[in-house]
Amino acid sequence: MTTDESAFTGLPVPGATPPTALTIAGSDSGGGAGIQADLKTFLACGVHGMTALTAVTVQNSRGVADFLALPPELVAAQIRSVAADIGVGAAKTGMLASAEIIEAVIDACAASSIGRDGRTPLVVDPVAASMHGDSLLARDALAALRDQLLPIATLVTPNLDEVRLLTGLDVTSRSELRKAAEAVHELGPSWVLIKAGHLTEDPECVDLLFDGSRFIELPGPRMRIPHTHGGGDTLAASITSALARQAQPIDAVRFGKRYIMRAVADAYPLGAGVGPVSAFWRVSEQPI
């Protein structure tokens, strides 16, 4: 892998086959989060995006009204299909909905050499609820996520609500982030990125990256912007894109942090609720 950032931040040469990334996640009918956010981010970051759809949500800027989980065997078949033919440079998970889907995803990833013991990096965004508080994970699925999926993750990216669900720790200050990172790392992933966006009293947004021995602070401005729908998906997808382009995990996370800060800064209103973060800033204006 490379530490030359120019190798994974630019766009591929037109006509050349780009690196590939797979998102294993749910659909957002409003287009702001889920696989829609992931695919926009993959394109903006110079990788070809592929999908294994786990669930269809009824969703808009105001929240999630309903969702339907797909059969686990169909989710697994999607993963195996693209991995066997096209190949997967890196993969990420988002909404997984049920324990049965999580177990099917783990089996399919193992068969496709995806995960920390395979050749393909796996980023786990442990989505349990939407930003509006709507549940996106069945109660019995949390244990499967914590005990079975996290141990095969290259990187896990929990926010502070997800840290509490996974470990029981209630983080209320920056000084407690290290304890949270250690607790999540004990669950098995190679790297942990604790997202500190919910520490609203902190004047900065200092996320914390941990690999079991090193703590790496990733500071950024705390932007008081109401439109942040899809922010977690977008961060994980941008990191996955850099990993697909052969970046080291620490460099991929640094790239993702810069990407999401710009995406939030350029977020736009949409509908009557919370608008999405933006990928438009990475798209060059071209004549038609």
- The backbone region for 199, taken as left when phi is positive above 0, alpha when psi lies in -120 to 50, beta otherwise, is beta
In a domain, 1, yes or no: no
CB 28 within 8 A of CB 254: no
In a domain, 286, yes or no: no
| Residue-number span of the structural domain to which 59 is assigned | 19-279
Check residue 132 and give its pLDDT.
58
List, as one string, the DSSP characters of 173-238.
Answer: SGGGHHHHHHHHHTTS-SEEEE--TT-TTSSB--EEEE-SS-EEEE--B----S--BTHHHHHHHH
In a domain, 134, yes or no: yes
CA proximity to 204, closest of 215, 191, 217 = 217
Per-residue pLDDT for the chain (288 aa), expressed as one digit of tens each? 445 666 666 777 888 999 999 999 999 999 999 999 999 999 999 999 999 999 999 999 999 999 999 999 999 999 999 999 999 999 999 999 999 999 999 999 999 999 988 899 999 999 886 665 566 777 789 999 999 999 999 999 999 999 999 999 999 999 999 999 999 999 999 999 999 988 888 889 999 999 999 999 999 999 989 999 999 999 999 999 999 999 999 999 999 999 999 999 999 999 999 999 999 988 765 554
In a domain, 110, yes or no: yes
Whole-model pTM over 0.85: yes
CA proximity to 92, closest of 163, 189, 1, 25 = 25
Distance CA 59, CA 260 (A): 22
Beta-bridged to residue 51, according to DSSP, are 23
In a domain, 14, yes or no: no
Q: Look-up: residue for tokens 């244990």?
A: 143
Residue 220's domain is classified under what CATH number? 3.40.1190.20
Helix (H) or strand (E) holding 245: none
In a domain, 12, yes or no: no
* Geometric angle at alpha carbon 97, from 94 and 98, rounded to 5°: 130
In a domain, 8, yes or no: no
CB 170 within 8 A of CB 164: yes
Residue 8 phi, psi (nearest 5): -130, 10
In a domain, 7, yes or no: no
List, as one string, the DSSP characters of 37-105.
Answer: HHHHHHHHTT-EEEEEEEEEEEEETTEEEEEEEPPHHHHHHHHHHHHHHT--SEEEE---BSHHHHHHH
Beta-bridged to residue 60, according to DSSP, are 63
Domain count, the chain: 1
CB 114 within 8 A of CB 76: no
